[in-house]
Amino acid sequence: MSRKTNSTRRGTPFHTACVATALFTAASGAAHADSSQATAGAATMSSSSVQMYGLIGMYIDSAKLSTTRSSTVQMGGGGMTTSFWGIRGREDIGGGNAVIFSLESFFRPNSGQMGRNTTDGLFSRNAYVGLTGAYGTFKFGEQTNPTYINQQLVNPFGSSVVFSPLIVQSYTASYSNTVIGDTVWQNAIEYVSPNYGGLTGTAIYSVSSTTGHQGRDNVGLHLTYAKGPLTAVFSAQRVRTAAVAPSSGQYLYLAGAAYDAKFMKVYGAAQMTSNNNVETGSHTYELGVSVPLTPSNVILAEWARTKHSAPLDRSNVRNTASLAYEYILSKRTFVYTVYSYDKLTANPSGSTYGVGMQHTF
């Protein structure tokens, strides 16, 4: 979920960016999706310019998962969306074509440190340059994985690696993540097609630079349809750069949809993973809803169920659900309270209670 900059004056490109993303956030029933990525980032800028933008979020929760003995109280940076700031630009070169770039950096406002963790580099969210025009958009560099973008579009908690059941079961280690690799792919070449009646296609190829892993590259193919009240997505990817022996890689398939009926927006998705050379994989099913009680009051609810397949009767099932209330303070700021439930086979259930605040700039 992308948000734009502060310290601006009315009428500047910075101010325009702030309003555009803030409206995306405040829209009743809208998912917390990463709008800069979902709309190809700098490729959507209307004229030659450079913009600075970002998002800062903080939350406090008392967390107990099904696999932990007791609850832990913590303060974290992010919550609904991981905090970040960025710079993006566009230079028109004639004929309807333009050069684009984007540099985006995660940060932890609770400690003032760079990155999501100590292994992240300066621009660990996006760092690419590209060309855009009537033929589509080509981007070269580190980029957010389109699978992650599509997942955001079909769940009411968007990109949240803390509270979205679909996202935490996919990427968070404490929830026995099913997806190999990160939400960001390095050394990537991506092509995004023009929009044909609401349908766009994306192809991405990520080259491995790890010693001993040369040739073990990642590839992904994606479709996104968004027109009127309906959004539908499909993703297929093969990940090999992050595979750890004995597995030599993983295949993932995602299909999902969201429908906005004005008084309610409903979401659903199915995801499957299969790990090469080992008899393991997963099947995940997700349902969600967002209900705008008033323009300033929104209820979010989501449930995800994952069955982990393993040999020798070691399969298990995990159910995770979240319920949240959001109060929108302004076009760029909202506060929220959230409850999450977690249950893994043969383990007691766990409950998490949290409150948070998010501001875009």
In a domain, 279, yes or no: yes
What pLDDT is stored for residue 28 in this prediction? 40
Closest CA to 149 of 37, 260, 238: 37
State pLDDT tens for residues 256-310: 999 999 999 999 999 999 998 888 899 999 999 999 999 999 999 999 999 998 8
In a domain, 216, yes or no: yes
**% of the chain exceeding 70 in pLDDT:** 84
The span from the CA of 268 to the CA of 288, in Å, is 6
- Looking at the structure of the chain, the number of domains it has is 1
With residue 147 as reference, give the H or E element that holds it.
helix 146-153
Other C-beta atoms closer than 10 Å to the C-beta of 326 total 25
Look up the CATH number of the domain holding residue 280.
Answer: 2.40.160.10
Q: How confident is the model at residue 19 (pLDDT cuts 50, 70, 90)?
A: very low
In a domain, 252, yes or no: yes
Instruction: Say whether pLDDT at 56 is over 80.
Output: yes
In a domain, 6, yes or no: no
Q: How many residues does the chain have?
A: 361
In a domain, 75, yes or no: yes
What pLDDT is stored for residue 315 in this prediction? 80
DSSP designation for 194: P
In a domain, 8, yes or no: no
Pairing of strands 97-108, 84-94: antiparallel
Largest CA distance in the chain: 64
Domain that holds residue 263: 13-360
Across all residues in the chain, what is the average pLDDT?
A: 88
In a domain, 7, yes or no: no
- 287 Cβ neighbours under 8 A, 6+ residues apart: 266, 267, 268, 302, 303
State pLDDT tens for residues 31-49: 454 544 444 567 766 677 8
In a domain, 66, yes or no: yes
**% of the chain exceeding 90 in pLDDT:** 76
